[in-house]
Amino acid sequence: MVDNQHKKITGYRDLTEEEIALMNKVKAKAEEVGKLLAEIEGLHADTGQHTIDMRWLNIGKTDLQKGFMAVVRSIARPDTF
């Protein structure tokens, strides 16, 4: 592992303790939501029935991932595109 990796990557900055705590909260909530989605997907796989519309579930998963990434980015405020 490289110490202070973020300093070697363009666009990253040092975060405050408060920002780190907020980002960790967002990431923990994303993990919680991810587990719920896996549970929903498991229901579909376990029953073998088409009780879940997998197309919409996958759209929801993608949109939620993008949303959580956007929230993390709003906290991190990178200075690159």
pLDDT tens digits, one per residue of 49-81: 668 899 999 999 999 999 999 999 999 999 988
- CA–CA separation, 16 and 61 (whole Å): 30
What angle in degrees, to the nearest 10, is found between the helix axes of 54-76 and 17-47? Answer: 170
Give the alpha-carbon dihedral of 16, 74, 13, 81, to 10 degrees: 180
Scanning the structure block, which residue is given the tokens 């900055």? 13
Q: What is the pTM assigned to this prediction?
A: 0.83
pLDDT at 2 (0 to 100)? 72
Alpha helices in the chain (DSSP H): 17-47, 54-76
pLDDT of residue 43: 82
pLDDT in tens, 16-49: 999 999 999 999 999 999 999 999 998 877 666 6
Give the C-alpha separation, 49 to 57, whole Å: 15
